[in-house]
Structure 1
């Protein structure tokens, strides 16, 4: 019990720190904005703590199927920290030389016509200072490349380690708490459909997000682009959500295949628990 409490508090602390990074590293447009972000960090951290202390599933998926959530958090932390450091350029601050050199290569390499990185740069207003544009290009290239690496890495884990079976039985109800296996038709068909939809979203969203942000800028005005924290969170969401959708889709297709294989083989060991 004590170990569970310590690990839950540690997870919550790491989540709160990750969410707080842009507020700590970047100058906000207003102090109220920073306070709201910090409050949100503590609230989300508290929810994560309660989720892991709770015996029964609530909202967090794949809670008992490592390393899915560890990869997601590691990816998010890397994106948040890297984006925040790279966007310090307009403040006259420079990130580490290695990070800057890598991001320069990635930003200019991935900024080709019709690429997601190029669309991010295109959505920026014409009157935005060049230092902001360069920082956005570097951060977008960094985030896009890291996301591709994470997706490729998770796919490799699926193929090589036969995830999630090496970690014991996989309980669909515990790891997919929002999925009711008893309603909505065959669970294999539902998982396959949802998996394909999530993968499609992972592919399409990097191209759609810039258009959505451009619409928001028209609503809130061009000053939206002069707030470094807003720019940071825009790029963070642009990098994290499509990657999460793609990983979730691959995981669902994997679970669907395992259930189908168990049905066909009538596995006597019951390595997969439907509920």
Structure 2
């Protein structure tokens, strides 16, 4: 989509992006059509992946429109740019991720390029926070991941072995806390890493608007995705603990001499 939105994208890049998108779509279709576990987590626990896909779509669309407004301004691009500028300025305070990102811009960055980074960062943060809020509201209203208590860990968490290690609830809570912590720290950790890679390979995200769009999108999407995964795993741990407690209460009602472990 960004390669189609940006007016100066070359036809070769556009064709390559469309081909990659087709392969990605085929991969997702095969994953969801398969009976056995694959690589996609929470496959049978909507709307986890729906929220992540919508977040990525909104990030690419809005940041792409903001970047398009530089070469081809319109009413829509000006509106997106104004909202991003307002958000970027309000979130540009000491020790914020946006301030860290602006501090690490390479030497020779123009004022226009720095302004564009602030605008796209403001848009990215707005979309990420809205996605997290929407997911939190949905899991509260719909008793996610399963109102009936049925949840297939093997299908939805193919890389998680519930029989290995300590208690499954403790492991889910621990892994969820680690994902949430990474989601908080990643906006601060990725800019220095990106700067190191850019200096090593002599590349810059300002070389093309398409590279800027994807860089800022991934900068916001990866931490938010980890944060969503952490919330989901801790919610699953809560569901398992409630089911255990209810099962223990039922056994205690049937057998007064039953003592839960």
TM-score (norm 2): 0.86
The answer to whether the 8 A contact 1:143-1:239 is kept is yes
* SS of aligned partner of 1:184: coil
The answer to whether the aligner puts 1:37 opposite 2:21 as a matched pair is no
* Cα deviation, residue 151, structure 1: 1.4
The answer to whether the 8 A contact 2:205-2:215 is kept is no
Q: 1:126-149 deviations in whole A, cap 9, x for unaligned?
A: 423333222221111011122112
- Give unmatched runs, 5+ long, in structure 1: 1-20, 270-275
The answer to whether the aligner puts 1:146 opposite 2:157 as a matched pair is no
* SS of aligned partner of 2:121: helix
The answer to whether the aligner puts 1:83 opposite 2:63 as a matched pair is yes
Using a 3 Å threshold, how does the CA distance of structure 1 residues 129 and 27 change in structure 2: closer, same or farther? farther
The answer to whether the 8 A contact 1:87-1:136 is kept is no
Query: In terms of Rg, which structure is larger?
Result: 2
Using a 3 Å threshold, how does the CA distance of structure 1 residues 166 and 228 change in structure 2: closer, same or farther? same
* SS of aligned partner of 2:144: coil
The answer to whether the 8 A contact 2:97-2:188 is kept is yes
- Who is 2:245 aligned against? 264
The answer to whether the 8 A contact 1:89-1:135 is kept is no
- Give unmatched runs, 5+ long, in structure 2: 251-261
The answer to whether the 8 A contact 2:177-2:230 is kept is yes
Aligned-pair RMSD on alpha carbons?
A: 2.3
- Who is 2:2 aligned against? 22
Matches for 1:169-208 after TM superposition, within 5 Å: 169-208=150-189
- Who is 1:68 aligned against? 48
Match of 1:231 among 205, 212, 217: 212
TM-score (norm 1): 0.82
